[in-house]
């Protein structure tokens, strides 16, 4: 007794590329009607869809015993570029890992229609091999799959990483299980420079392995920013060298539920090797309950009438000690996290505690703020921004800071997260008309779940859909899918995030006119089985099967 | 920027029983307000709550080197009862598995406040050790934890299994990590005899390991029925010895996506060892698209005007071959599945195809059915029920069969799944006033998800809340949580089901007046961490942590 009557069922045979076969066993009515799909995608299982693709019917075979990914002779990234070596191994494993591996056999004669090499050519004199990705990193690449060998050409290693993913997505199994790839020409680059995912490690602690597995999956989807909402009211898992009491007192557990400096380093390096930036968020002055446990006098004492109630509110903005603390703290952060940006939060500040505190009231009067507590908030944020600027970092902030009229550096990125579609579109228009760069998240709160294929709604949202000039549209640096942590931890985070975040990944990478939702359904269905085959428990879009189902409970 | 403002956070220290500690780091307002919780449960982490509990402050220690679970001397289940031996090992592992195991040391002097034995005493002359559980199985037990040893007394092995789970839930770690248990007297039995979970292996194939892991979890929640919705429109994974073409043609894949006779046997035995019945559902005449692929002429050819359209509708009820097939098929089913009941489905029959078919129309006229196709449906079902009756099985059916006035055996169980609260309550009243037994599922469609703590709604529903006499209420045999398979497979099924299904488990086991939702929240939060510790990825209820988080991606 399933209320959803009869369905179009998608039988996925995991054969990518031109050999892709999607069969449907019936075409009965469905709810919603929209979920009816009936055709293969001519783009196989490519996800996100590259900017320009030419595919031919001609196909080549690949064998694990002969195929190699190698540096092209003229490449500026030589044998010492471990980022690429690591990537070659990873993609070789993805392509051949699940089939019976044959020994490399150098003397074997290769067949006439066999592809034996993918040559990777970094064309810019500086490959960026040892650098960190940034918002200005060049991620473009050109991929030519043809005989005698395929060539992946990219100015920087970042584009090579994207192109390797694309190449691996072109490889499919033919009817006899042989790995094949069609002759193909691809020219590709991202539509937006900032394509992020926010994970929240405060509401629930996420073991490092879960974070790494999701970074791995981000790379499969060409996501290039991990927005690490690392602390919040509920817990402070970041182990600070300068203020170890913060996690000692503020983490769920001081040893088992913290991120040590070594953990953080590992996350950053794992991300770098996949072309992913790590932007930490240390949200103040609100969302800081857990900070107060390990740092005396940091939070505002709330009053009940004339006496302190014993509870605490936002960061206390009237004490010099607060700013001394923030200076030292963000100095540490600026050295631990290599990215040029820090996210400073600044959202949802509750004024009730400030209002209750007589010292704060006195300060308000002295400063001539009247009863306008947003002026006090701005006063705090302004000083914080100056502190962070002195550490040579740029900053991102949630939209309230802009809404409250705080003076911002011109390169500030305003992160839009509130309201209805109309409201966020107005906000994007206002932010960009004030000349600021902006990031969109409102339509991509993936923690919010509902029954059915909600990825379709995520897919349809476009961050440039608002009233504004071309100049304004250019100020949209991208967007982020947010998975707030109240209801997710290591048990359910990964299947809840994927493939729903993949919808956002394509919106932010592919051309604006890539909007065919049925084609997207077909490609995404196979892409999700590919993630499953690579060991990621990405959940199904609808009734279907993968040739190799997720192996759970195998350990 | 998390829209849900500040939260009461639950810090779970996995210390069960009287030593249970639940601490909350702040008491800010939440949405919904209902989620505010502020006190430990005096019942520790017991789930579902036993009928009668007396707990004392006196506590005993347990050590892995001394503690034993043994048959009591007078027990009717001797050393040959492998069901109990298997259970002793399982619960010993649950209690001591994650702590450093010490070697058994028989010569070690036990301490004065140490509990060294749990004696299990089966009191009925026939222990049921080698039998299958049934709807009339006695699951009651009495547990006395005191010195010199604890005693678990039960008429049958089924009650012993429930009592072992309860005993394991009483064991907690004290502040020094020592396993402890409080002196306790428990007298327990289920409120309802049928406490089920429906899993759907047609919309997505579920690997055997996923099914077994969920049977294991059912036992942790005292669930005693696995309703196996094994086939449906989308696929036919049941490998029939009599009609192997059904899965050969109708499964997603004839080898990798089928349940062989050996698989089915393993599922049934694994379930039996945990006191769980396996009730298969073979739903007809609708929901049978996949049957048609391997069995010629079984389905009704649909017509488009005067010619067959090439598509097929429900089972063809006018051919004798249909009934020959069903006789042979259900004869096999009756031998493969030992339970006294088979679920025959009978829901959601679409009449359009029947209407289009001229042979069916002719038959309707001959039978004097006019244009009332529910009469044709009843005609089919009636014959099917007779067939199944001849195999000596009882049957369960979805409510439509009752609604359509089909003549039913008095011991038929009507499964209610449709409508609003008012509608299903009326249906329960009608079904029971007609003298039939009934099962409720409407409020427990766990495949339907929404943001937040939807377990609270599941917890509040009560299958006896309808207008009826005491006699009618007694006809409610229980209920089932249903997890239809469109959006779940091996990647996400387990965390979606647990601990949401645990809410249903307590409703169906515990006394009617166990309705304190805050106490339930406290106990369930610790119960979910216990499931995690036992290797089950049960998702979190809310911001919180478990001392030992789920180990994902460890293989």
Q: Is B5 on the interface with A (CB under 8 A)?
A: yes
Long-range contacts of B362-370, Cβ-Cβ distance < 8 Å, separation of 24 or more? B363/B318
Residue A424: count of CB within 10 angstroms of its CB: 22
- Could you give the CA distance from residue B519 to residue B37 in angstroms, rounded to a whole number? 8
For A83-96, the pLDDT digits (tens) are 999 999 999 999 99
Look at strands B277-281 and B225-229 and give their pairing. parallel
Q: Is B476 on the interface with A (CB under 8 A)?
A: no
Structure tokens at B34: 């209902």
Q: Which of A72-76, A84-88, B6-10, B382-386 is predicted least confidently? A: B6-10
Among B31, B348, B471, B549, the one annotated catalytic:
B348
Cα angle A543, A548, A552 (rounded to 5 degrees) comes to: 90
A-B CB pairs within 8 A amount to 232
Q: Per-residue pLDDT averaged across B196-223, rounded?
A: 98
What is the per-residue pLDDT for B78?
A: 86
CATH of the domain at B151: 3.30.379.10
Contacts of A205 in chain B (CB under 8 A): 545, 549
For B294-319, the pLDDT digits (tens) are 999 999 999 999 999 999 999 999 99
Structure tokens at B302: 């649909």
Distance between alpha carbon B95 and the CA centroid of its chain, in Å? 23
Shortest distance, CA A2 to any CA of chain B (angstroms): 7
- A353: nearest Cα among A288, A406, A282: A288
User: Is residue B95 within 8 Å of residue B62, measured between CB atoms?
Assistant: yes
Q: Could you tell me which residues come within 8 angstroms of residue B37 by beta carbon, excluding any fewer than 6 positions away?
A: B8, B10, B24, B518, B521, B522
Structure tokens at B500: 């949401």
**Are B214 and B182 members of one domain?**
no
Residue A151: count of CB within 10 angstroms of its CB: 16
Cα angle A390, A393, A398 (rounded to 5 degrees) comes to: 110
Averaged confidence pLDDT in chain B = 91
Residues in a beta bridge with B172: B180
B382-408 b/e with 16+ CB inside 10 Å = b?
A: eebbebbeeeebbbbbbbbbbeeebeb
- Could you give the CA distance from residue A137 to residue A139 in angstroms, rounded to a whole number? 6
**Are A182 and A269 members of one domain?**
no
What is the per-residue pLDDT for A14?
A: 41
What is the per-residue pLDDT for A456?
A: 98
What would the DSSP string read from start to end of A175-226? Answer: TTS-EEEEEEEEEE--S-SEEEEEEESSSS---HHHHHHHHHHHHHTT--EE
Q: Per-residue pLDDT averaged across B342-359, rounded?
A: 96
Nearest to A486 among B4, B484, B491 (CB): B4
Does the predicted TM-score (pTM) go above 0.90? yes
Within-domain flag for A47? no
Within-domain flag for B19? no
- Could you give the CA distance from residue A336 to residue A353 in angstroms, rounded to a whole number? 33
Q: Is B470 on the interface with A (CB under 8 A)?
A: no
**Are A181 and A272 members of one domain?**
no
Confidence band, pLDDT 50/70/90 cuts, at residue B33 = very low
Question: Which residue of chain B comes nearest to A401, CA vs CA?
Answer: B1
- Could you give the CA distance from residue A522 to residue B469 in angstroms, rounded to a whole number? 54
Within-domain flag for B16? no
**Are A279 and A341 members of one domain?**
yes
Q: Per-residue pLDDT averaged across B447-459, rounded?
A: 98
**Are B280 and B160 members of one domain?**
no
User: Is residue B180 within 8 Å of residue B172, measured between CB atoms?
Assistant: yes
What is the per-residue pLDDT for A99?
A: 53
Contacts of A399 in chain B (CB under 8 A): 1
pLDDT along chain A (555 residues), means of 10: 46 39 33 43 93 95 94 94 97 82 64 91 97 98 95 98 98 91 97 98 98 98 98 98 98 97 98 98 98 98 96 98 98 98 95 97 97 95 96 96 90 96 98 98 98 98 98 98 98 98 98 97 97 97 95 57
Cβ contact, residue pair B544, A3, below 8 Å: no
The residue among B445, B457, B491, B500 with the most chain A CBs within 10 A of its CB, best to mutate, is B491
Q: Is A495 on the interface with B (CB under 8 A)?
A: yes
**Are B363 and B391 members of one domain?**
yes
Confidence band, pLDDT 50/70/90 cuts, at residue B283 = very high
Contacts of A415 in chain B (CB under 8 A): 1
Long-range contacts of B457-465, Cβ-Cβ distance < 8 Å, separation of 24 or more? B458/B500, B458/B503, B458/B504, B458/B507, B459/B503, B459/B504, B459/B506, B459/B507, B459/B517, B459/B520, B460/B515, B460/B517, B461/B421, B461/B507, B462/B507, B462/B512, B463/B192, B463/B428, B463/B439, B463/B507, B463/B508, B464/B512, B465/B425
A224-257 b/e with 16+ CB inside 10 Å = b?
A: bbbbbbbbbbbbbbbbbeebeebbbebbbebeeb
- Could you give the CA distance from residue B523 to residue B515 in angstroms, rounded to a whole number? 13
Within-domain flag for A150? yes
User: Is residue A412 within 8 Å of residue A434, measured between CB atoms?
Assistant: no
Looking at B158, B188, B218, which one is the last position of a domain? B188
For B119-144, the pLDDT digits (tens) are 999 999 999 999 999 999 999 999 99
Shortest distance, CA A464 to any CA of chain B (angstroms): 21
**Are A228 and A181 members of one domain?**
no
What is the per-residue pLDDT for A106?
A: 62
Q: Counting beta carbons within 10 angstroms of the beta carbon of residue B472, is it exposed (0 to 12), middle (13 to 18) or buried (19 or more)?
A: buried
**Are A145 and A251 members of one domain?**
no
Looking at A129, A153, A188, which one is the last position of a domain? A188
- A204: nearest Cα among A493, A474, A517: A493
Tokens 């308000």 appear where?
A: A364
Cβ contact, residue pair B451, A451, below 8 Å: no
Contacts of A203 in chain B (CB under 8 A): 7, 9, 543
Classify the phi-psi angles of B452: left when phi > 0, otherwise alpha if psi is within -120 to 50, otherwise beta.
left
- Could you give the CA distance from residue B286 to residue B352 in angstroms, rounded to a whole number? 12
What is the per-residue pLDDT for B555?
A: 38
ipTM of the shown complex:
0.91
What is the per-residue pLDDT for A124?
A: 97
Shortest distance, CA A204 to any CA of chain B (angstroms): 6
Q: Is B310 on the interface with A (CB under 8 A)?
A: no
User: Is residue B167 within 8 Å of residue B145, measured between CB atoms?
Assistant: yes
**Are A265 and A326 members of one domain?**
yes
Domain assignment of residue B272, given as a range: 194-534
Contacts of B549 in chain A (CB under 8 A): 205, 207, 257, 489-490
Q: Which of A71-75, A259-263, B104-108, B551-555 is predicted least confidently? A: B551-555
Q: Per-residue pLDDT averaged across B512-529, rounded?
A: 97
Cβ contact, residue pair B545, A26, below 8 Å: no
For B362-374, the pLDDT digits (tens) are 999 999 999 999 9
Q: Determine what percent of chain B is predicted with pLDDT higher than 90.
A: 85
For A53-91, the pLDDT digits (tens) are 999 999 999 999 899 999 999 999 989 999 999 999 999
Within-domain flag for B6? no
What is the per-residue pLDDT for B104?
A: 62
Q: Please tell me the total number of residues recorded for chain A in this structure.
A: 555
> What is the 3-class SS of B357-410, one letter each residue?
CHHHHHHHHHHCCCCCHHHHHHHHHHHHHHHHHHCCCEEEEEHHHHHCCCCCCC
More confident residue, B99 or B367: B367
Q: Per-residue pLDDT averaged across B466-478, rounded?
A: 98
Within-domain flag for A281? yes
What is the per-residue pLDDT for A111?
A: 73
Q: Is A3 on the interface with B (CB under 8 A)?
A: yes
**Are B285 and B168 members of one domain?**
no
Within-domain flag for B507? yes
Structure tokens at B326: 């069903």
For B221-236, the pLDDT digits (tens) are 999 999 999 999 999 9
Provide φ and ψ at A459, rounded to 5°: -70, -35
**Are B179 and B244 members of one domain?**
no
Nearest to B1 among A350, A417, A538 (CB): A417
B295-328 b/e with 16+ CB inside 10 Å = b?
A: beebbbbbbeeeeeeebbbbbbbbeeebbebbbe
**Residue B9 pLDDT > 80:** no
SS3 B84: helix
Q: Is A2 on the interface with B (CB under 8 A)?
A: yes
Total domains in chain A come to 2
Looking at B172, B188, B204, which one is the last position of a domain? B188
Q: Is B135 on the interface with A (CB under 8 A)?
A: no
Using the 8-state DSSP alphabet, how is residue A114 labeled? B
CATH of the domain at A353: 3.20.20.80
What is the per-residue pLDDT for B390?
A: 97
Provide φ and ψ at B78, rounded to 5°: -90, -165
Within-domain flag for A64? yes
Structure tokens at B178: 């020592």
Q: Report CA-CA distances (Å) from B180 to B18, B92, B394, B496, B531.
A: 9, 14, 46, 32, 19
Q: Is A397 on the interface with B (CB under 8 A)?
A: no
Cβ contact, residue pair B489, A549, below 8 Å: yes
Known catalytic residue at A117: no
Q: Is B254 on the interface with A (CB under 8 A)?
A: no
Structure tokens at A485: 């942590």
**Are B125 and B168 members of one domain?**
yes
Nearest to A555 among B450, B547, B555 (CB): B555
């Amino acid at each position: 007794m399933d209320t959803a009557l009869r369905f179009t069922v998608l039988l996925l045979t995991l054969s990518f590329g031109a050999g892709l076969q999607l069969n449907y066993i019936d075409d009965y009515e469905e709810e919603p009607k929209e979920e009816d799909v009936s055709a293969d995608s001519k783009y196989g299982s490519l996800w996100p869809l590259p900017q320009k693709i030419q595919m031919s019917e001609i196909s080549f075979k690949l064998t694990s015993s002969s195929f190699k990914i190698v540096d092209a002779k003229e490449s500026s990234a030589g044998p010492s570029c471990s980022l690429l070596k690591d990537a070659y191994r990873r993609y070789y494993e993805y392509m051949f890992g699940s089939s019976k591996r044959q020994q490399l056999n150098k003397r074997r004669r290769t067949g006439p229609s066999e592809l034996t090499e993918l040559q990777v050519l970094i064309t810019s004199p500086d490959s960026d091999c040892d650098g960190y990705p940034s918002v200005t990193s060049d991620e473009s690449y050109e991929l030519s799959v043809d005989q005698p060998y395929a060539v992946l050409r990219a100015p920087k290693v970042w584009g090579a990483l994207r192109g390797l993913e694309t190449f691996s997505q072109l490889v499919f199994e033919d009817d006899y299980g042989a790995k094949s790839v069609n002759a193909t020409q691809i020219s590709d680059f991202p539509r937006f420079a900032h394509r992020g995912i926010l994970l929240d490690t405060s509401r629930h602690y996420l073991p490092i392995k879960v974070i790494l597995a999701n970074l791995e999956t981000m790379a499969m989807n060409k996501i290039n920013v991990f927005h690490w909402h690392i602390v919040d009211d509920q817990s402070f898992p970041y182990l600070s060298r300068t203020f170890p009491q913060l996690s000692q007192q503020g983490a769920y557990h001081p040893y088992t539920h913290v991120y040590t400096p070594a953990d953080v380093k590992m996350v950053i390096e794992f991300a770098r090797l996949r072309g992913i930036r790590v932007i930490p968020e240390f949200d103040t002055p609100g969302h800081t309950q857990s900070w107060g446990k390990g740092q005396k006098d940091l939070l505002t004492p709330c009053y009940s009438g004339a006496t302190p109630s014993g509870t605490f509110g936002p960061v206390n903005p009237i004490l010099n000690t607060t700013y001394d603390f923030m200076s030292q703290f963000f100095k540490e952060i600026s050295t631990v996290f290599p990215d040029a940006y820090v996210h400073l939060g600044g959202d949802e500040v509750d004024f009730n505690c400030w209002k209750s505190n007589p010292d704060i009231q006195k300060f308000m009067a002295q400063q001539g703020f009247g009863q306008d507590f947003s002026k006090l908030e701005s006063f705090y944020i302004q000083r914080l921004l100056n502190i962070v600027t002195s550490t040579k970092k740029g900053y991102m902030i949630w939209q309230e800071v802009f809404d409250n009229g705080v003076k911002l550096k011109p390169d500030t990125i305003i992160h839009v997260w509130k309201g209805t579609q109309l409201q966020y579109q107005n906000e994007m228009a206002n932010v960009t008309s004030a000349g600021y760069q902006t990031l969109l998240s409102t339509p991509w709160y993936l923690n919010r779940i509902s029954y059915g294929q909600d990825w379709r709604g995520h897919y349809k949202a476009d961050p440039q859909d608002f009233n504004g000039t071309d100049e304004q549209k250019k100020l949209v640096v991208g967007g982020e899918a947010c998975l707030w942590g109240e209801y997710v931890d290591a048990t359910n985070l990964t299947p809840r995030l994927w493939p729903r975040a993949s919808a956002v990944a394509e919106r932010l990478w592919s051309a604006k006119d890539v909007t065919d939702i049925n084609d997207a359904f077909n490609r995404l269905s196979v892409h999700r089985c590919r993630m499953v085959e690579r060991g990621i428990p990405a959940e199904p879009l609808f009734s279907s099967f993968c040739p190799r189902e997720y192996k759970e409970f195998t350990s």
